[in-house]
Chain A
């Protein structure tokens, strides 16, 4: 039985922590790769509609976002009312601002990638189509013709 006897007297043997960094780094790389940085704070309520035929939006650098929805919370509602509003980057905007926004976003891209620019419309599902149609018309005027209606992936629509 001496084989299983404890060697040395008293005290726990030290656990080697040398492999701990490896494990943590593994996790770190996973999160670094899968991460998407939050770019804007939403000032509007946004419950995206569900759809089954969704496609993933690839190449984040080619995508610009337009958010539409009711102003969120009492402070914003006091300032901007409860009607759906457009949010570009961090600020509320009017329909007329969209063209400038599209041109500014396009300016940021590489010249050869500009035709691939996609505008993602993130619209709350209770919004009326009137404002969405106005936005789409503006996008057509700005020749941003590739659009994407942002939706959640669901298995079946209600």
Chain B
């Protein structure tokens, strides 16, 4: 029997093994990456009553959703598609109106001393509200913040917010702080 030369082997079976593994991963794979809206909840504290009376009414942007998925913003019924523009006006308060939030001077890196809004968005929903509309409202409110932040990023640094280094992003986040407070839901609308 002739001896095979050393250092040479048939690569044909390697393809079979690799195909086997490939098919396994093809079957086991799910391509979708999880995406979502990230929120931070306040710690649980049963004794602490929400002290709304310390916050002036002009500083609070009240968004209510009832059990038939209707939205009431600052006492006015509103379509979910109009919410973003309306919330942006509340966050920025460009002309310092009396009925929109107050501002206080704050020292921020890169910006120096600037006027930062005291505005808070308060979101309240009913137990009968559908999750779909709740996410839409959350999305629009987050979108409003993201839009004003990217506008100021463009003005100040000439780049998109997401392209900025972390310290500049943090500075912008301080410039437009995102405060969305969620009240305990009430069972007002009935089910």
Contacts and interface: CB of A to CB of B under 8 A. Distances in A.
Interface residues of A, number: 52
B146 A53 contact: yes
Contacts of B125: 129, 133
B127 interface: yes
B36 A140 contact: no
A152 interface: yes
A17 B15 CA distance: 9
Given A56-B34, A128-B129, A129-B131, A157 B139 contact: yes
Nearest to A33: B25
A132 B143 CA distance: 22
Nearest to A31: B25
A48 B19 CA distance: 34
A114 interface: no
B40 interface: yes
A53 B18 CA distance: 40
Interface stretch (A2-10, A34-42, A73-81): A34-42
A146 to B, nearest CB: 6
A145 B40 contact: yes
A136 interface: yes
